[in-house]
Chain A
Amino acid sequence: MNFADLLGNDPGWLTTVKAFLVFALCVLLTLLAIWSERRIVARMQMRLGPNRVGPFGLVQGLADGVKLALKEDLIPKAADKIVFIIAPIISVSTCFLSFAVIPMTGKVSLFGHKTAMQLTDMPVGVLFILAAASVGVYGIVLAGWSSGSTYPLLGGLRSSAQVISYEVAMGLSLVAVFIRSGSMSTSEIVAQQHSLWYAVALFPSFVIYLISMVGETNRAPFDLAEAEGELVGGFHTEYSSLKFALFFLAEYVNIIGVSALATTLFLGGYHALPGLTFTENWLGGWFTMIWFMAKVIAFFFIFVWLRGTLPRLRYDQFMKFGWKVLIPASLFWIMVASSFRLMSQRGASKSVVIAAAIGVVIILLAAITLFDRSKEKSEEREALGDVAPPSFPVPQIPSQRAEQLHG
């Protein structure tokens, strides 16, 4: 019995309970994520981080939320009031949507029903997630536009451009997964990874997804939309109180969402680490949820680690990287992956597959060398063109001065 049938037999009340559980889990994870991010980044900077509210400062996120809720809710005069209110709601509701199709456990029993900790299973589950993420962009665009102010508008445009660009790379990186698994259903993809994680089998896809998920969530080092020095707060500059809290919540639920998707598609979802498969039956199957959470938290740590390590990219570098590196690389990898898939389907012999693999490697190496050479040449040309002195007066540099003195 596969997941779709399993979940199809859920009575309505169980689905409601699960929906509530998923929602509560997201909010709880967000609170913990905010706390742990601040603590971890603080450690990376040899600080302690929040440690005042509750044990180890654990309730800091909740305290901040309460504080935000109690603040004055401002709507600028120039703002388009209705859109201004709707924008954060779009933002926050879409990011919760993607959790509906994430399988968090294997088969378990919940209130006496055989089911799985997944709200619903769709044959096009991953497409649904991508669609939800795309609608989420509207939240950002509309927030920026409706604020009636320059910085939010620029910030909103920046983030939407960024999210859309990186969604292309993200979508392309998923294609290899679809080709390999032959399915777009999240539960099916997880089930297929029982023996080999796609992070290993489809390593380039995994790397591209990892990078684009950071770009997609507007996080450091790709947090250009919130470049304080340039754009104040980005698209949410004019937002305060609960509406700002919603954006904040959306950002973190998004991070957890893409981490959960990465876990599902590349790290075998709720499956245990290879060699520890026996743990999947512990606690009546609920132990799989611990595996799932552990992987999501590992991804979240990567997010924090990136933030603690890398400086923010310049906008043009960021766009160049997305369009000129990630997307072509992704396309190339899809071509390779689909060729190999076709070969295995047609029953090509091992030697042919190996020969094809070597061919791909040679083509890659040749392309990289040629690229490097052309880069060197263009650099040489640039260096040559740089010799002519500028037409405006400049201070003498020491070596010129010395030449004047001593001939």
Chain B
Amino acid sequence: MAENSLTPRYPDLGLIAAAKSEKKIEGDELKAKGFFTQLQGFWVTFITMFKKVNTVNYPEVKEPTAARFHGRHQLNRYDDGLEKCIGCELCAWACPADAILVEAGDNTETERFSPGERYGKVYQINYLRCVFCGLCIEACPTRALTMTNEYELADDDRAKLIYEKQDLLGEMRAGMVPAPHPMYPDTTDTNYYRGEVTKAHPSQGTPIGEVNA
């Protein structure tokens, strides 16, 4: 059997022939090429002194990250100001480091945070555990959870590194109405999901940024 196992079960790509006729590197080719090659290293280090340094003066100079850098998370909103998170906990389940805690709450007619039945009532990400793998982002069915490019997450207290919902929610843009408020008239969560709600309706409340206008 041992003999059989040596029989190639794959086409001979000329590798065996190559291995057979392999030109051996030996003798003078292996030796250091004389005294002056030893000095080449000195030239390398000397000339490197006059090259541009790679150092970035970090706190003063901040270079932009790669466009899809995995930084701090953000909970997004629809264009009328309702939250996208539906409290499904898929992100928490996807998380390999068990860094996310979600508790869903029911939307009511008087207090509505997101379109549909439920919203994320409690949303915590523990940045002491998060490995920034992005699996939560892949798991999110509504694109509620995305990652920003922000990387300055150091702090002096462990408790401060557990980010609550208010720390994670994206900023309110002009034209949004702060939640809770009713959904856009005559729409369902499907319309929201399809991106058909592009601005707040006057019946939903006073939009931000239009108060002064």
Which A residues have a C-beta under 8 Å from some C-beta of B? 40, 42-48, 305, 308-310, 398-399, 401-406
In the complex, are the beta carbons of A401 and B6 less than 8 A apart? yes
| B1 interface contact, C-beta 8 A | no
B110, CB-defined interface residue at 8 Å: no
The answer on a CB contact under 8 Å between A406 and B53 is: no
Q: Is residue B8 contacting chain A, with contact meaning CB distance below 8 A?
A: yes
Q: A48-B55, A405-B8 are in contact. Are A399 and B49 (CB under 8 A)?
A: no
Instruction: Tell me whether B211 is interfacial, beta carbon within 8 Å.
Output: no
The answer, yes or no, to whether B153 is at the interface (CB within 8 Å) is no
- Docked Cα-Cα span, A402 to B18, in Å, equals 9
Q: Is the CB of B6 within 8 A of A44?
A: no
Contacts of B22 in A (CB 8 A): 398-399
- List residues of chain A with CB within 8 A of the CB of B17: 402
Q: Which B residues are CB-close (under 8 A) to A406?
A: 16, 20
CA distance A399 to B15 in the complex (A): 10
Q: A399-B19, A401-B19, A404-B6 are in contact. Are A309 and B54 (CB under 8 A)?
A: no
Query: Please, how many angstroms separate the alpha-carbon atoms of A18 and B166 in the complex?
Result: 69
Tell whether B11 is near chain A: CB-to-CB under 8 Å. no
Known A-B contacts: A46-B53, A48-B53, A399-B20. Give 11 more (CB < 8 A): A40-B49, A43-B49, A43-B53, A44-B45, A44-B46, A44-B49, A47-B54, A305-B45, A398-B19, A398-B22, A406-B20
Q: How far is the CA of A48 from the CA of B19 in the complex (A)?
A: 48
Residue B34 at the chain A interface, CB threshold 8 Å? no
The listed residue (B20, B46, B54, B57) touching A403 by CB distance below 8 A is B20
State the majority secondary structure of interface residues on A.
Answer: helix
B42 touches A305 (CB 8 A): yes
A399-B22, A404-B6, A405-B6 known; A46 and B48 CB under 8 Å?
yes
Q: In B2-23, which residues have CB < 8 Å from any A CB?
A: 6-8, 16-17, 19-20, 22
Q: Report yes or no: B41 in contact with A310, Cβ–Cβ below 8 A.
A: yes
B51 lies within 8 A of chain A by Cβ: yes
- How many angstroms from the CA of A46 to the CA of B46 in the assembled complex? 11
Closest B residue by C-beta to A302: B42
**Once bound together, how far apart are the Cα atoms of A405 and B8, in whole Å?**
9
- Find out whether the CB atom of B48 lies under 8 angstroms from the CB atom of A47: no
What are 20 inter-chain pairs, A to B, with CB distance below 8 A? A40-B49, A42-B53, A43-B53, A45-B48, A46-B48, A46-B51, A46-B53, A46-B54, A46-B55, A48-B53, A309-B41, A309-B45, A398-B19, A398-B22, A401-B6, A401-B19, A402-B19, A402-B20, A405-B7, A405-B8
A386 to chain B: closest CB distance in Å? 12
B75 to chain A, nearest CB (A): 38
Chain A residues near B49 (CB-CB < 8 A): 40, 43-44
Q: Which residues of A contact B42 (CB under 8 A)?
A: 305, 309
Inter-chain CA distance A101–B34, complex, in Å, is 41
Looking at the assembled complex, report how far the CB atom of B18 sits from the nearest CB atom of chain A, in whole angstroms: 9
Q: Specify the chain B residue showing the minimal Cβ separation from A310.
A: B41
* Cβ-defined partner of B55 (8 Å) among A44, A47, A310, A401: A47
Shortest C-beta distance, B8 to chain A (Å), equals: 7
Q: How far is the CA of A354 from the CA of B17 in the complex (A)?
A: 61
B172-193 CB contact bits vs A (8 Å, 1 = yes)?
0000000000000000000000
Given A46-B53, A47-B54, A48-B55, A305 and B46 touching (CB < 8 A)? Answer: yes
A16 to chain B, nearest CB (A): 41
In whole Å, how far is A317's beta carbon from the nearest beta carbon of chain B? 14
Taking CB atoms, residues of chain B closer than 8 Å to A398 are: 19, 22
Distance A261 CA – B44 CA, assembled complex (angstroms): 29
B16 & A402 in contact (Cβ 8 Å cutoff): yes
Q: Which residue of B lies closest to A304 (CB)?
A: B45
Task: Please give, as numbers and ranges, the residues of chain B lying within 8 Å of A404 by CB-CB distance.
Answer: 6
